[in-house]
Amino acid sequence: MIVDLHSHTTASDGVLTPRELILRARENGVDCLAITDHDTVAAYDDPELNRDSTVNLITGIEFSAGWHGLDVHIVGLNVIPDSEALTAAVDRQLKARTDRAKLIAERLAAVGIDNALDGARRIAGNDNLGRPHFAAYLQEIGAVSNGRQAFRKYLGHGKPGHVRGFWQPVRDVVQWIRDAGGTAVLAHPAHYKLTNTRLLVLCDEFIAAGGTAIEVVSGRQHPDVTARFGRLADEKGLLASCGSDFHRPGTPWSELGRASPLPSGCRPVWDTW
């Protein structure tokens, strides 16, 4: 069974529409899929989204959260999209994203990059603005030659276009997911570049808040890393999730449905559904 519980669409910073994503999931033999756009469930608005029901679609979202000045991502799976809790959380995050986008644009203007807000908005096609939309604008105007460079020079941690300490704390975000009836999953633990000790502290705080799962597999990661997170899940009594974090075709390390399977011994998050 192919399970992919982390993916993005045009509702956030992915390039495929929700329908195109489902088609690709079907082509790639995905049996169970969660769309986890940044801070929105807008992809699920389309009643025809999974018309043929060939893919078992799980409702998902990827919330941005703050932890000691770091951005961490908490995936909510099986959330009730039209619940009061989720609607309130999404409203709050959309406002935060809009405020942050204005700040990013101001800071970019201060280093000589003009009209970034309009540019990012045009590229996104909606108000759910993320740094990748600014990266695309920087590339468009020739300020950088690719997305990675945009993050390295302008948008990454500590650069002018990164606004530090902006999101709500992990414990609040986990609570939003629980209130919306969902399972909270600590996303892509390798991304935070934490020492083992700090990662354990993050896990403990996440668990204390009511988080119950962790992405043991995210995208294409080294088997040693997967084994390490498998042991971590086991030690902490966390359920294991896996996802590609697919954003766009053409990047082989994050093709939809192509993340490696969970290590044996892990208890899959879908066991409880």
Residues 6+ apart with CB under 8 A from 268: 3, 239, 240, 241, 262
Q: Smaller CB distance to Fe ion: residue 32 or 109?
A: 32
- For position 188 contacting ligand AMP by CB under 6 A, the verdict is no
178 makes contact with Fe ion (CB under 5 A): no
Give the binding range for ligand AMP (CB under 6 A) out of 21-29, 114-122, 128-136, 227-235: 128-136
Q: Does 178 bind ligand AMP (CB under 6 A)?
A: no
Closest among 14, 2, 5, 13 to 57, alpha carbons compared? 5
Q: Measured between alpha carbons, how far is 273 from 100 in angstroms, rounded to an integer?
A: 36
Length of the chain: 273
36 lies in the binding site for ligand AMP (CB under 6 A): no
Contact flag: residue 64 with ligand AMP (CB under 6 A): yes
**Smaller CB distance to Zn ion: residue 13 or 71?**
13
Residue 148 binds which entry of Zn ion, ligand AMP, Fe ion, none, with Cβ cut-offs from 5 to 8 Å by kind? ligand AMP
Residues paired with 4 in a beta bridge: 33
Site string (245-264) toward ligand AMP, x via CB under 6 A: --x-----------------
Distance CA 230, CA 189 (A): 11
Residue 263 tokens, joined: 């290590």
User: Distance (Å, rounded) from C-alpha 221 to C-alpha 223?
Assistant: 6
Cβ nearer to Fe ion, comparing 245 with 255: 245
With CB under 6 A as the contact rule, the residue among 18, 130, 243, 263 that binds ligand AMP is 130
13 binds ligand AMP (CB under 6 A): yes
Please report how close the Cβ of residue 237 comes to ligand AMP at its closest, in angstroms: 28
How many helices (H) and strands (E) the chain has is answered by: 8, 7
For residue 183, the cross-strand partners are 77
Buried b (16+ CB within 10 A) or exposed e, 140-156: eeebbeebeebbebbbe
3-state secondary structure of 207: helix
For Fe ion, the binding residue among 24, 73, 100, 131 (CB under 5 A) is: 73
Site residue total, Zn ion (CB under 5 A): 1
**Residues 9 to 48 in contact with Zn ion, rule: CB under 5 A:** 13
Chain residues 199-258 in contact with Fe ion, contact rule CB under 5 A: 245
Structure-block tokens of residue 205: 């705080």
Closest residue to bound ligand AMP by CB: 130
Shortest reach from residue 259's CB to Fe ion, in Å: 12
Q: To the nearest 10°, the Cα dihedral for 5, 213, 240, 221? A: 70
Q: Which residues bind to ligand AMP, rule: CB under 6 A? A: 13, 38, 64, 71, 130-132, 147-148, 151, 156, 247
Q: Which residues bind to Zn ion, rule: CB under 5 A? A: 13
Q: Which residues bind to Fe ion, rule: CB under 5 A? A: 62, 73, 245
